[in-house]
Structure 1
Amino acid sequence: MKRSPGARLCATAAMGALSLSLLTACSDEGSKDTADSRASSPSSAASSSSAPAAKPLTTAELEKLLLAQGELKGYKVASGDDTLPASKSRVKTDKPACDPLAWATAGLAPGDTDANASNSVSEDKASAATAQPTDLADAFDIDMTYVGLSSYAGDGAEKAMKAVSDGVTACAGGYGLTGDGETTKVTRTAAEKGAAKGDETVAFASDVDMDGEGTATFHTAVVRKGNTVATFYTVNFAAMAKGGEMGGVPAAVLDAQVAKLK
């Protein structure tokens, strides 16, 4: 018997930021691959020749650098406190080299630092708020980008970027992922090319098993500016439930966030 979109959404929820809101949606059997623009599938840019000299930022300082409500037209911003894993201990893989990839998809620091802040930036469809969806899946037809900022001392940011880049290669054949008790299988990872952002950019695609009913492709971008690293991971729950390819990180979100970094 073919399983419902909601069931498949639940089975793959670990690939996104696992939260009470997501788990509630799953229990109710809820589920665009029409993002206005892709994140240009940025690839790895040349690293600077010397380690960043600036003092690492604190978590409180990083929170002030996150995009805030009203700063990006057409999008609304929500705190990551209730929608993203609180710590790396809640996101695990079966291959240590793949950990930075999993952390990047969950708004967590891909490198060794305790300075980390995150939020979510989603399409604002307020004008369609009174529309009656044909089914519950339509209510999930929205692109949501999980954004994480982390800051490092010395060359820590560069090491974090290398860990992500190395992870893309080491995890080409996939890995198992568990987040907040939800388990799924990433079947493939591959580097993506495109315009570079900040001082250094690594982008990759991940194919995720959709509960035995094919795979869906997700896109992640990781950008370094000085000693700050920003991670971007976009999901569309309606598209996720159907399988296939997710839209990339919206360029508007990526550009606006990188522009705020010091």
Structure 2
Amino acid sequence: MNRAMKATALSTLSLLSLAALTACGGDSGSDGDPTAGKPEAATSGAAQPSPAERLAKTMVTEPEVGGLRVETTDEKFLFAKSPDEVTTDKPVCAPLALAMNQLPLGDPRADLTRSVSGQVESERKTGIGYTYITLTSYEAGGAESAMAGVKKAVEACGDGFTAKSKENESPYDSVTAEKVTPAGDEALGFKATLTFRDVQHVVHTQVVRSGDTLAVYFSADGMAIVNGRPSDAKPSPTVVKAQNAKLA
């Protein structure tokens, strides 16, 4: 998909309140940083890295995901710039709206989002679109609380909900829990359905807690939505496995 096509897709999806589904790219993320990886234990007297610095070192890089593109998202195409801008017709469903729109859950110390595009050979026919990764760090207990909120929302929002921001609106027809590969201290998955121009689409989300850090993986096929083709895109197993390994 060339840049012009992606821009067209984003403009259309913005009207759907799904603008972030096909990021048109931007400045590269942490890829190419030779120091990227797990934060090393600080030596006595050395300055401790900030939560944001830890997340930057923990985010996957392009070599770690088989050469897929790891990029920042363009803010002008975001559903909302902060959780405070998002409301839902069912308050209990708010964590799902945040998770599916690359926004941090709960009360974070720092958060970081990247989009991963492209497919490795083994995944070319498995319905995988863009995979979004949102890493969020918390004070002690904060990640567990945020995870509990997602679990409660999945259980309570089976018949769907509507999320709104200042300029956008996203109606979800249904939410269903899904089994995911065990990872971290706890992991959960869910899928949501939405309808555009009488065509149904399925988007998938996984949430993994590793200590006081959450990783949220979200995937959707934005071009299929724009072109009126049914879609069912799942987070890339390659991306999820690589990111979970860096959180372990």
TM interval, short-chain normalised: 0.7 to 0.9
8 Å contact kept, 1:95–1:175: yes
Provide the C-alpha distance between the structure 1 equivalents of 2:186 and 2:208, rounded to a whole number of angstroms. Answer: 6
Aligned residue in 2 for 1:87: 82
Counterpart of 1:175 in structure 2 is 161
8 Å CA contact retained: 1:107, 1:118: yes
The aligned residue for residue 128 of structure 1 is: none
Q: Give the aligned partner of residue 106 of structure 1.
A: 101
Are 1:119 and 2:105 matched, yes or no? no
Structure 1 regions of 5+ residues with no counterpart? 23-54, 126-140
Q: Percent of pairs identical after alignment?
A: 32
Alpha-carbon distance in structure 1 between the residues aligned to 2:231 and 2:165: 21
CA–CA distance in 2 between the matches of 1:155 and 1:60? Answer: 20
Give 1:63's match in structure 2, choosing from 56, 74, 78: 56
| Counterpart in the other structure of 1:229 | 214
| Cα contact 1:216–1:240 (8 A) shared by 2 | yes
Find the counterpart in structure 1 of residue 43 from structure 2: none
Counterpart of 1:186? 172
1:1-262 matched pairs, under 5 angstroms: 9-12=13-16, 14-15=17-18, 17=20, 58-80=51-73, 82=75, 84=78, 85-123=80-118, 143-179=129-165, 181-211=167-197, 213-241=198-226, 242-261=228-247
Secondary structure in structure 1 of the residue aligned to 2:154: helix
Kept in 2, the 8 Å contact 1:18–1:179? The answer is no
Q: 1:56 to 1:216 in 2, by over 3 A?
A: farther
For 1:86 and 1:64, the matched residues in 2 are separated by: 23
Deviations 1:65-115, CA, capped at 9 Å, x for gaps: 111233321411102363654311333322221111111112222222241
Q: CA 1:216 to 1:8, structure 2 compared with 1: closer, same or farther past 3 Å?
A: farther
Matched-pair contact (CA < 8 Å) for 1:101–1:110: no
One-letter identity of the residue aligned with 1:17 = A
- Give the alignment's Cα RMSD to 1 decimal: 3.0
Corresponding letter in the other structure for 2:20: A
Q: Quote the Cα distance in structure 1 between the aligned partners of 2:190 and 2:23.
A: 27
Whether contact under 8 Å (1:11, 1:184) holds in the other structure is no
Question: After the TM superposition, which of the residue ranges 76-85 and 156-165 deviates more from structure 2?
Answer: 76-85
| Partners of 1:91 and 1:19 in 2: CA distance | 20
Aligned equivalents of 1:16, 1:81: Cα separation in 2: 10
Aligned equivalents of 1:155, 1:232: Cα separation in 2: 21
SS in 1 for 2:97: helix
In structure 2, distance between residues paired with 1:206 and 1:124: 22
Q: Deviations over 1:167-196 (max 9, x none)?
A: 011111111122451212111101011321
TM superposition score normalised by structure 1: 0.70
CA 210–81 in structure 1, closer or farther in 2 if over 3 Å, else same: closer
Aligned partners of 2:200, 2:64: CA distance in 1, in Å?
A: 35
Is the contact made by 1:76 and 1:122 (CA closer than 8 Å) also made in structure 2?
A: yes
TM-score, scaled relative to structure 2: 0.73
What are the ranges of 5 or more consecutive residues in structure 2 without an aligned counterpart? Answer: 1-7, 26-47, 121-126
Higher RCO (CA < 8 A, seq sep 6+): 1
How far apart, in 1, do the equivalents of 2:185 and 2:112 lie? 20
